[in-house]
Chain A
């Protein structure tokens, strides 16, 4: 539920370096399994939700 208005992108995990820009912590990975694993870990560590932008970029968002 939308309890707070602050939704923040905490990190991005990308297969393609060119697709993420700006000040977001970005993790470069080589393959999908690794991407899933890193995103899952980051999600747990940061208590965020992993979302898929369907362009090879996963983002971890704090809701």
Chain B
């Protein structure tokens, strides 16, 4: 069936390109260049092939070929497992750990991006098959833009007010505003905290977000991202400078005490606002009747 050759190739090319565009090597420094990129581009290529052949195969009455899509889904679920295991192993050597929830979120993104590639190349090859390749290109670009739009989740800045908070010492205990952070026994550590530490208070905008921020995984993600962007004044033998995120039980506010290398509170706030809200952490008590009625 030479008539469908061009749509398939075109779909594969655009699908792979879409996967490449979705691979953003940002401050999280993941995936690592170049091997991680090669792995994911190759998988993206396979996904693109599968997506592109689906409709031409249907038209050629090759139903067995279409059922391979189901097989592919299994393969990409494997991607998620691999990513999760690798990140969990690597997390042990991080000074400030990502935490399992954040890793699960990243792994899920890797899986779902392959499905987006399948969808993109499916759209491209179908549109190209029935119309002109220009429309196919436009449809592909539209699909990529739409998926980028839909896939970019909320950030902490959208669900909470973020501001700095005073660090206070009462005896051996350290507080950010009135939220107890930890007990510090060493004078030297207390001095460093006083001199270099920054307190951040994150106030949820409503009860839903209170639950989201209460999630331990979400808090670890905040600590990790803040530390990875501003640097962390910590080594393996000074665990007392691990950024701690604690919760005010009365109001659901959370407070973080962090000792960044760069003491720039405004940029720290910027970093905290940019932390993604984890899908797994999102709570919606206001959607329930009891939660709605209990709100005050």
Q: Are A44 and B237 in contact (CB under 8 A)?
A: yes
Taken together as a complex, chains A and B put the C-alpha atoms of A36 and B236 apart, in Å, by 20
Beyond A1-B245, A44-B237, A47-B237, is A52–B183 a contact (Cβ under 8 Å)?
yes
For residue A15, CB closer than 8 A to chain B, the reply is: no
Which chain B residue has the least Cβ–Cβ distance from A33?
B187
Taken together as a complex, chains A and B put the C-alpha atoms of A54 and B239 apart, in Å, by 21
For residue B97, CB closer than 8 A to chain A, the reply is: yes
Beyond A1-B99, A36-B187, A59-B185, is A50–B219 a contact (Cβ under 8 Å)?
no
Chain B window 217-239, contacts with chain A (Cβ cutoff 8 Å), 1 for yes, 0 for no: 00110010000000000001111
For residue A26, CB closer than 8 A to chain B, the reply is: no
For residue B264, CB closer than 8 A to chain A, the reply is: no
For residue B186, CB closer than 8 A to chain A, the reply is: yes
Which chain A residue has the least Cβ–Cβ distance from B96?
A1
For residue A23, CB closer than 8 A to chain B, the reply is: no
Q: Are A54 and B172 in contact (CB under 8 A)?
A: yes
Chain B window 246-276, contacts with chain A (Cβ cutoff 8 Å), 1 for yes, 0 for no: 0000000000000000000000000000000
A residues 35-62 touching B (CB-CB < 8 Å): 36, 39-40, 43-45, 47-54, 58-59
Q: Are B171 and A54 in contact (CB under 8 A)?
A: yes
For residue A2, CB closer than 8 A to chain B, the reply is: yes
Residues in chain B near residue A51, CB distance under 8 A? 172, 183-185
In the complex, how many angstroms separate the beta carbon of A24 from the nearest chain B beta carbon?
A: 15
Beyond A1-B216, A1-B220, A1-B244, is A47–B171 a contact (Cβ under 8 Å)?
no
For residue B142, CB closer than 8 A to chain A, the reply is: no
In the complex, how many angstroms separate the beta carbon of A48 from the nearest chain B beta carbon?
A: 7
Q: Are B185 and A50 in contact (CB under 8 A)?
A: yes
Beyond A1-B223, A2-B216, A51-B172, is A63–B239 a contact (Cβ under 8 Å)?
yes
Q: Are B236 and A47 in contact (CB under 8 A)?
A: yes
Which chain A residue has the least Cβ–Cβ distance from B220?
A1
Extra pairs beyond A1-B216, A49-B239, A54-B171 (20, CB < 8 Å): A1-B244, A1-B245, A2-B216, A36-B187, A36-B188, A39-B185, A40-B188, A47-B236, A48-B239, A50-B184, A51-B172, A51-B183, A51-B184, A51-B185, A52-B171, A52-B172, A52-B184, A52-B185, A58-B185, A63-B242
- On B, residues with C-beta under 8 Å from A are 97, 99, 171-172, 182-189, 216, 219-220, 223, 236-240, 242, 244-245
Can you report 22 A-B residue pairs in the complex whose CB atoms are below 8 A from each other?
A1-B99, A1-B219, A1-B242, A1-B245, A2-B216, A3-B99, A36-B186, A36-B187, A36-B188, A39-B185, A40-B186, A43-B186, A43-B240, A49-B185, A50-B185, A50-B189, A51-B172, A52-B171, A52-B183, A54-B171, A54-B172, A63-B242
